[in-house]
Chains A and B, each alone.
Chain A
Amino acid sequence: MSKNNGLRQGMQIAFRLGTELTVATLIGALMGHGLDRFFGTRPWGLAVGVIVGGAAGCLNVYRAAMLLSMEDDDDNNS
């Protein structure tokens, strides 16, 4: 359905990767903030949380990109 159209394919990739990075960073920050509240270690939990979240976001984007490049290879081979 979306394979035969370059624009659609590109938009799909953009939507997928963009939210992946943002949401993971936000989750990391929120978890860090939550741990801060629980243990009273302001502001260290938030700082570490943002970094861990960013790392998780990069990991998710990397995985999604690997998946997309795999699909591309399949298309080229067939």
Chain B
Amino acid sequence: MESPLHHFEVHTIIPIHIGGLDLSINNAVVAMWVGLAIIAGAFMLVVNRGISPIPGKLQSVLELVLEFISDLVFEFIGKEEGKKYVPFITTLFLFILACNLIGLVPGSYTITSQVAVTGAFAVGIFIMTLVIGFSKHGMHFLGILVPPGVPKIMIPLMVPIEIVSMLARPISLAVRLFANMTAGHTVLAVLFGLALTSPGWVSWMPFGFTVVINGLEIAIAFIQAYIFTTLTCVYIGDVIKLH
């Protein structure tokens, strides 16, 4: 019987080592490529076919997604400022969604269940917010550490609290996505293991649960991608508006 965590293991497919760096192509990289290929392929198909005023099926779905995300960005960042960030946020949402959904195909690999991947996203976004903040407000950006309406005596207490809450943001962003995906897939693996090992007259029960939980996992894939992008918008918006 395989361990329920077996499907999170990374296997090297094509070993590449350049100057001590391990740049091997492994199953996680391949799954990421597939995710990119699906999204890019869908958009390229629509554009190549010609964008018509009366949208076809695929075109309406993609237009819906783009509108949904630009509404999200405009709500949290603002209509004028937000325009610059729509492409980035859309890419982020679609990539995370594609990765989450690919993980649900049996035998594939869930890239978002690797804390290295979600952590890289979160740290990248954190650095991006810092860069946006400092380039927009200069040294006034440090004022984000002092919430408005705080009495002067409280400032020495509030600044460490604000620093911790700032640093907690990217980590909670990364941990949330990683933990949800890992937990869901482990539950699926455990239930499926039960279905395979138990005698025939009870094995329909865990198998039924895997079907139900698979449906739940599809919902979670959407919710987690949505939460990740919403919070990215909120953080960028906070930095731009500065309170």
Give A contacts to B, CB under 8 Å: 1-2, 8, 11-12, 15-16, 19-20, 22-24, 26-28, 31, 52-53, 55-57, 59-60, 67
Contact = CB atoms under 8 A, between A and B. Distances in A.
Given A23-B168, A24-B168, A60-B168, A11 B223 contact: yes
Given A1-B222, A55-B161, A56-B161, A23 B171 contact: yes
Given A53-B164, A60-B165, A19 B226 contact: no
Interface string B99-139: 00000000000000000000000000000000000000000
Interface string B217-243: 001101110110001001000000000
Given A12-B226, A23-B175, A60-B169, 6 more contacts: A19-B175, A23-B172, A53-B164, A55-B161, A56-B161, A56-B165
Contacts of A59: 161-162, 165
Nearest to A20: B172
Interface of A, secondary structure class, is: helix
Contacts of B172: 19-20, 22-24, 60
A12 B175 CA distance: 15
19 contacts: A11-B223, A12-B226, A15-B224, A15-B227, A16-B176, A16-B227, A23-B172, A28-B164, A31-B164, A31-B167, A52-B160, A52-B161, A53-B164, A53-B168, A56-B162, A59-B161, A59-B162, A60-B168, A67-B234
Contacts of A23: 168, 171-172, 175
Contacts of B220: 11
Interface residues of B, number: 24
Closest 3 CB pairs of A and B: A56-B165, A56-B164, A24-B168
Given A8-B219, A52-B160, A2 B168 contact: no
Interface string B150-182: 000000000011101101110110011001100
A28 B162 CA distance: 11
B68 interface: yes
Q: Which of B68, B162, B172, B179 has the most CB of A within 10 A?
A: B172
Contacts of B227: 12, 15-16
A45 to B, nearest CB: 11
Contacts of B164: 24, 27-28, 31, 52-53, 56
Contacts of A55: 161
Nearest to B72: A1
- Residue in B160, B168, B180, B220 with the greatest tally of chain A CB atoms within 10 Å: B168
A23 B231 CA distance: 15
A24 B176 CA distance: 13
A60 B238 CA distance: 13
A56 to B, nearest CB: 4
